[in-house]
Amino acid sequence: MLRRSGSAWKTSALKVNIHFLRGEQTLKKQLIIVLSLVMVLMLVAAGCGNSNSGNSGSNSKGKSSNTPDSSSQAKDEHALEPYKLTMVYPGSTPNDLKQVQEELNKYLTEKINATIELKPIDWGAWNDKTNLMFTSNEEFDIIFSANWVGYSDNVIKGQYVQLDELIETHGQGAKEVLGPDWLNGSKVNGHNYGLPTLKEFASTGGLLFRKDLLEKYKIDLNTINKVEDLEPVFQTIKDNELGVTPLLASNLQTLAGKLLNFHYDTLGSDSFGVLDPRSSELKVINMYETERYKEVITLMHRWYEMGFINKDAAGIKEDQMNNLMKAGKGFAYNAQLKPGKDAEMTTSLGVEVVQKEFVQPLTTTNEATGAMLSISRTSDNPERAMMFIDLLYTDQYLLNLLNYGIEGVHYVKQGDNVIDFAPGLTAQTSGYNIGAAWMFGNQMNTYLWTNEDPNKWDQFKAFNDSSIKSPALGFVFDPTNVKNEIAAVTNVKQQYDTALSIGQVDPEKYIPEYVEKLKAAGMDKIIAEKQKQLDAWAANK
């Protein structure tokens, strides 16, 4: 038996120990690598599991706490909580409203997991009812807005949600469609509170005439160069068409208003201090003291006295005026015009009409804010409201369903983008003929009726290009500093304006009286404030 010395045993033991330690270090390294891989896999799994966690959260009322932006909207809509939208807009209630609403809800549920309740409000009750809705803090989401129904005033009162951030997060489609001119032109104090309808970017005033009577009496509108030339035409209708009023007017819609308000830039929703866009000066003037105002009002008075204008105009509302045209009781009536307006109104009225402009097209801030959709401050989910509004600019099916109803029920297609009423239906008998395409989203995405020019949208571009551009385009007046004067002047206007505009009273007597009372109520102070703000705007532009 061999014996090892003590030193030999020590040497052998040391070699074994070193080998063991080396093995242990290798094992530790391998274990660290394995643990690291496990940690990475766990983090990846956690990331995947939480990628939609923000969208799935909601408050007790169903508001999404982190809804997707419009670019990822289609792929993430399943993560949105259900929400019911409410939209209010001016107009009558069609018989088939609920049927169309059901189709909208089927589609919107798939797109943004929302349903919608459409709440039209009669034109005559619009201001009173919407003001009451805000005063009572009624919950609703989307509201039609425009400069002529108090857009700027409601912005100042805080009734609308500021849209700047919502446009960036949920309105990129609308932003791309509208472009900077529309968005900048509709801002108040540098912020958007409504998205404008993409339509004509200019306005003009004139008349719509019944085509059958034009043909019957061989009246060529091309020979009519100015509004005064219509006098013998109106006389012919009065003498030969019993029960037909040559020129229909209502309490708020008059030819005088069209000839004046589209001649001047009214610098807001009222005519209390206007700008002549043909002038080289940025000078705010009193329209009621101008020679043009006197000429137009004097002509209306002459025609009223001759029996051309309906005697009950002061008590007639706009929708009643339309009904009179539908019933064949009017020959002509005033309208804000654009390319193809006559074809649109022919479809709406069921009576073929032809248009004639008497004012050169004008582009002002009013056009950019002439028809918009805003989000109410009482909305429980502004994000979902913006998603719906955004679709109105990008989704042709949704837009046309809202505007024209259900294909095969209310209309039939005659081409890719051309429609006609469904068989057996007319403008009067259709259960859904709201005539409101100009109110919503991207009008360039709407179908054309068979009687409309296929080049209509090209004509819109030419119309916009031919307009006079106001030097105050983009200026928005803030009436805060003169709100008491505006209230007082508005009361005076309500006493005099309709009677003068329809020609009911003698302008020689009542214009000076009107101007005097306007001044006493604070007209000059309003004009001075507008001038001050306009000068500051021009200096900073």
pLDDT of res. 60? 31
pLDDT tens-digit readout, 254-264 = 999 999 989 99
Q: Are 346 and 246 in the same domain?
A: yes
Asked, for residue 184, whether it belongs to a domain, the answer is yes
Q: Are 331 and 378 in the same domain?
A: no
Q: Name the residue type at position 535.
A: D
pLDDT tens-digit readout, 336-351 = 999 999 998 998 888 9
DSSP assignment of 92-158: ---TTHHHHHHHHHHHHHHHHSEEEEEEEE-GGGHHHHHHHHHHTT----EEEE-GGGTHHHHHHHT
Asked, for residue 284, whether it belongs to a domain, the answer is yes
Asked, for residue 419, whether it belongs to a domain, the answer is no
Q: Are 99 and 133 in the same domain?
A: yes
pLDDT of res. 299? 97
Strands (E), 122-257: 142-145, 195-196, 204-210, 245-248
Q: Is 199 left (phi over 0), alpha (psi -120 to 50) or beta?
A: beta
Q: Are 353 and 501 in the same domain?
A: yes
Place of tokens 């061999």: 2
pLDDT of res. 71? 40
In whole angstroms, what is the distance from residue 426 CA to residue 81 CA? 40
pLDDT of res. 5? 38
How far are the Cα atoms of 144, 162, 185, 357, 533 from residue 189, in angstroms, in the given order? 20, 11, 11, 33, 11
Q: How many CB atoms lie within 10 A of CB 461?
A: 13
Q: At what angle do helices 483-501 and 291-305 cross, to 10 degrees?
A: 40
Q: Are 485 and 343 in the same domain?
A: yes
In whole angstroms, what is the distance from residue 530 CA to residue 136 CA? 32
Strands (E), 130-282: 142-145, 195-196, 204-210, 245-248, 274-275
Q: Are 179 and 209 in the same domain?
A: no
Q: Are 400 and 532 in the same domain?
A: no
Q: Are 384 and 396 in the same domain?
A: yes
pLDDT of res. 6? 39
Q: Is 301 exposed, middle or buried (0-12, 13-18, 19+ CB in 10 A)?
A: buried
Asked, for residue 457, whether it belongs to a domain, the answer is no
Reference 254, options 227, 276, 290; nearest CA is 227
Q: Is 239 exposed, middle or buried (0-12, 13-18, 19+ CB in 10 A)?
A: exposed
pLDDT of res. 69? 40
Reference 504, options 128, 321, 251, 196; nearest CA is 251
Q: Are 187 and 169 in the same domain?
A: yes
Tokens of 241: 């068409």
In whole angstroms, what is the distance from residue 275 CA to residue 284 CA? 5
Asked, for residue 533, whether it belongs to a domain, the answer is yes
Low-confidence ranges of the chain (pLDDT < 50): 1-77
In whole angstroms, what is the distance from residue 75 CA to residue 108 CA? 14
Q: Are 170 and 250 in the same domain?
A: no
| The dihedral sign for the CA sequence 288, 289, 293, 299 | positive
Which DSSP letter does residue 284 get? E
Tokens of 348: 């709406």
| CATH code, 88 | 3.40.190.10
Asked, for residue 18, whether it belongs to a domain, the answer is no
Asked, for residue 430, whether it belongs to a domain, the answer is no
Q: Are 157 and 248 in the same domain?
A: no
Which of 404, 431, 459 terminates a domain? The answer is 404
Range of the domain at 141: 73-200+368-404
pLDDT of res. 321? 84
Asked, for residue 245, whether it belongs to a domain, the answer is yes
Query: How many structural domains are present in the chain?
Result: 2
Q: Are 352 and 372 in the same domain?
A: no
In whole angstroms, what is the distance from residue 240 CA to residue 252 CA? 28
The number of helix segments (H) and strand segments (E) in the chain equals 21, 16
Contact 223, 289 (CB under 8 A): no
